[in-house]
Every structure is written in structure tokens, then in C-alpha cells.
Amino acid sequence: MPAPLLPPQIQLLSSPGWKDYALLDSGGGRRLERFGPVTCIRPDAECIWRTALPEQEWARAQARFVPGQEENGGHWEWTGPEKTRWQMEYGGLRFWAQTGGSKHLGVFPEQAGQWDWIAAQVKRSPRPLQVLNLFGYTGLATLAAAKAGARVTHVDASRKVVAWARENQELSGLQAAPIRWLVDDALKFVQREGRRGAAYDGLILDPPKFGRGPKGEVWEFYKLLPELLAACRQILSAQPCFLLITAYAVKASAATLYYAVNELMQPRRGNIEAGEVVLKETSAGRLLSTAIFARGSALEGGEGNAGM
């Protein structure tokens, strides 16, 4: 019989290491943010409180995203010359930020603490790691793992963002890093890898609430995540090092992901964490929750919390 599973201690995970990003203020359904040289305003329904900075500070923003009729759709308005693409940096990684038909700029700054954690797992391993990054977007988690010494397989259904990720690889000077870039449906890819007998020591999953694969495959979080996790069990190595799941805009709790990670990593023992990914304002110090996460790290040759 397995050891009793301890209840999760919910954490608030921030990313204090930024120089090129800051959440300057929030409130009234908006965020005032600095992405490198660009200060912008983006909508965020979570910001139900009042703003801390006076409105004239918000008026200095160079760009504002105006939502459209469709979810996540809309357009950007600029108060001065339009700057559609620029470089940013974090922890030795360089990457492109850019505006388009979405409020997203190609980087989720709240994830920087996760990039640091991934790099730490890779560096402390006594053996080279094979890492799989599913729903990899513009590749910053992939680059963090590769820079730390892992061999990484990066999967995303969008050819455009995979091309963007490869540009970030070049910008970061990691052209020689062992990264396999794939445009594919995450679930189908993992199922094929299972049939091939592939094995990965680290898994990174950032599944969307809803999405489509390169051939029109429909992704629905609650319908397909259990199937994806079951397939992931088949491709975990005999001694998995780490597993990270992040979820945005879903009606689930961090405890949900905690128990999913615990089940995936059995019978290894180690450390499991769960909580919310947050951004901290520079104005009033409030914490803005953006996503939920759970992550597990196996301790090579050691013991940790029950359940892993």
C-alpha cells in the first residue's frame, strides 16, 4: 500500500528576477506593464480592485490592446510610432516580443520562475536529461532547459510560434543546443512516442483551455488532459527527474494538478509543489494570480514528501 499522500501546501510563485519586465500597476480590469522598452495596457478581468497609480501615469503607455468580439482577439493602438517587434532578455536568454492580433506578446513573464526551476533540475541531475516540452509556444522553457544542458523535444501545434521559438534560439546563441522542433498535435505525438518506446526524464506541459492541432485536431482541457496524462505515463523514463504542469483560464484548482503530478510520478519519491503563478506589482505590491501549477522533482538517491 502506498504511503499516505500529504495534502498540498498551496504556494504563490512569483518571478522576482526580471529586469526587462515589470507589472507597474493593475486595476479596473487592466494591467499597466513594461515589456523591455515598451509600456503597454492589456485587459485582465482578474484585476477587480482600484488602480494605485494616478490615471496620468497610465496615459503615458505607448500601446493599448483593444479587445474584439472574439475571445483573445482584438487590435493594438499606439500613442506614438508603432513598435511591432523588439528584443527582451531574461537570465541569459534573449527573445522577441511582438504585437499582433492577440493581447499576448510572445512571453509570459510570470513563468520566469519556472524557467529557473527547470534549469535547476537539469543542472543538479548527475546524468544528461531528455526533456519533452508540450504546448511549447515560443520556446523559453525549452531554451532554459537546453541552456542548462538538456536534450529537448519541443512540440507545438502552431508552425508560426515554432518558427518564432527557433528565432529565439538563434537570438540566445543556442544554435548548437540539441533541440528538436516539431509542429504536431501534443496528444498524438505522445501516443506515437509511447508506441516507439521513447522515454523522457523531464516533462513540461502548458495545455491551453481550448486549441486546435496542425490538422484541425480539437483540444479541450477537461476532455483530453486525462488522456494526455495517461499517455505521458508511458513515456516517462524509469527514473524521471521532473514534471511541470501549468494551466491558464480553467476552472480547476492547484490541488487538481497536484494530485495529477503525484499520480504520474509514482512510485518515485521526491518533492511535489502546487499553487498559483503570480505577478507582483511595483506600485502597491499586490499579487496578480495568472495561472495554476504543479510540479514534481525526483530526488536522485534520496527521499522526500510521500507520493513521488
The β-bridge relationship of strands 210-212 and 218-220 is: antiparallel
The pTM score is: 0.90
Model pLDDT for residues 163-187, shown as the tens digit of each residue:
999 999 999 999 999 999 999 999 9
pLDDT band at 301 (very low <50, low <70, confident <90, very high): very low
pLDDT at 306: 31
**Dihedral over Cα of 18, 200, 177, 187: its sign:** negative
Encode pLDDT of 22-32 as tens digits.
Answer: 999 999 999 99
Taking only the tens place, the pLDDT of each residue in 51-60 is 999 999 999 9
pLDDT one-digit tens code per residue, 98-157: 999 999 999 999 999 999 999 999 999 999 999 999 999 999 999 999 999 999 999 999
Cα of 238 vs its chain's centroid, Å: 25
Query: How far, in Å, CA of 16 to CA of 27, rounded?
Result: 21
Q: What is the share, in percent, of the chain residues with pLDDT greater than 70?
A: 88
Q: How crowded is residue 46: how many other Cβ atoms within 10 Å of its Cβ?
A: 11
Domains and CATH numbers, the chain: 10-16+105-298 (3.40.50.150)
